[in-house]
Amino acid sequence: MTRSAPQFLCDPVLETVQVEHGFGTRGAVAPGGTLRPNQVHGNAVARFEGGSGVDPLEADALLSRIPTQSVAVVTADCVPVLVASADGGCVAAVHAGWRGLACGVIPAAIAALSEWGFTDLRAAIGPHARACCYEVDTPVLEALEGPFGPALAEAVRPTRPGHAGLDLQRLALEALSRGGIRSDHRGSAAAMCTVCHPELFDSFRRQGDQAGRMIHWVRPIRDA
């Protein structure tokens, strides 16, 4: 008998600050009213501060400090990152594929949280295509070399001429570390491979244009 999967996976690092959150499996539906940006594989950050909308709408990171407002991103192999302040009063949902990592979407989100006055942060990484299933070519590696420098070598495993397996999680953790989030405040309990687990996740690498998208959401605590 196939065991039913939970709709959402949680991370202990975020549970310690009591923010409601979930990394989605296939078909999971986020809480009603959850906001998500129009993702463009860039480094723009949108901030929700109340009212009826988000400005700018096109972004790959979305912040909220309204206790009733959850924010989310969707993925189908890219890395979802959920961030919360230590008091649970502010959160961010970040979409970080290789393009977003190359252009600094994670540092941009951390900088935006800092501008709001939140610097003691917790972050968790969710399901994505792991290095076992994520082969890239030389132009991708060249795009990542500038922002990551020597750290990129630790995230690369040569496969065939002009190609290598890329560890997106290692790069995301490196970006979080550079943003001042210490190792025990960075979680990866839900960072399963989307390609390896068709029973749980959609994957563009595995399904191509037929792939759906999983939603990953986080909400500030109500008594912040």
Give pLDDT tens digits for 149-158: 999 999 999 9
Q: Which string of DSSP letters, residue by residue, matches 32-100?
A: TT-B--B--SS--EEEE-SSS--BSSB-SEEEE--TT--EEEEESSSEEEEEEETTSS-EEEEEE-HHH
| pLDDT attached to residue 3 | 40
Residue pLDDT, tens place only, 85-115: 999 999 999 999 999 999 999 999 999 999 9
Give the model's pLDDT for residue 2: 38
What are the pLDDT digits (tens) for 67-89? 989 999 999 999 999 999 999 99
pLDDT at 4 over 90: no
Q: What is the chain's mean pLDDT, rounded?
A: 93
The four Cα atoms 175, 144, 154, 106 give a dihedral, to 10 degrees, of 10
* Whether pLDDT at 53 is above 90: no
pTM of the predicted model as reported, rounded to 2 decimal places = 0.94
pLDDT at residue 51 is higher than 60: yes
pLDDT category at 222 given cuts 50, 70, 90 is low
Query: Is 193 in a helix, a strand, or coil?
Result: strand
CB 23 within 8 A of CB 9: yes
Could you give the percent of the chain with pLDDT greater than 70? 94
The rounded distance, in Å, linking the Cα atoms of 147 and 210 is 32
All structural domains of the chain, each given as residue ranges with its CATH number in brackets, are: 8-130+181-219 (3.60.140.10)
Question: Residue 6 — pLDDT band, cuts 50, 70, 90?
Answer: confident
Contacts with 150 (C-beta within 8 Å, 6 or more apart), sequence order:
none
Q: Are 21 and 219 in contact (CB under 8 A)?
A: yes
Q: Is the pLDDT of residue 56 over 60?
A: no
pLDDT at 57: 79
Q: Please say if the pLDDT value at position 223 is more than 80.
A: no
**Residues 110, 138: Cα–Cα separation, whole Å:** 29
Close Cβ partners of 13 (under 8 Å, ≥ 6 residues apart): 122, 123, 124, 185, 186, 187, 189
pLDDT of 1 reads 28
Q: What is the pLDDT of residue 68?
A: 87
- What's the Cα-to-Cα distance from 192 to each of 22, 31, 112, 153, 196, rounded to whole Å? 14, 22, 28, 22, 8
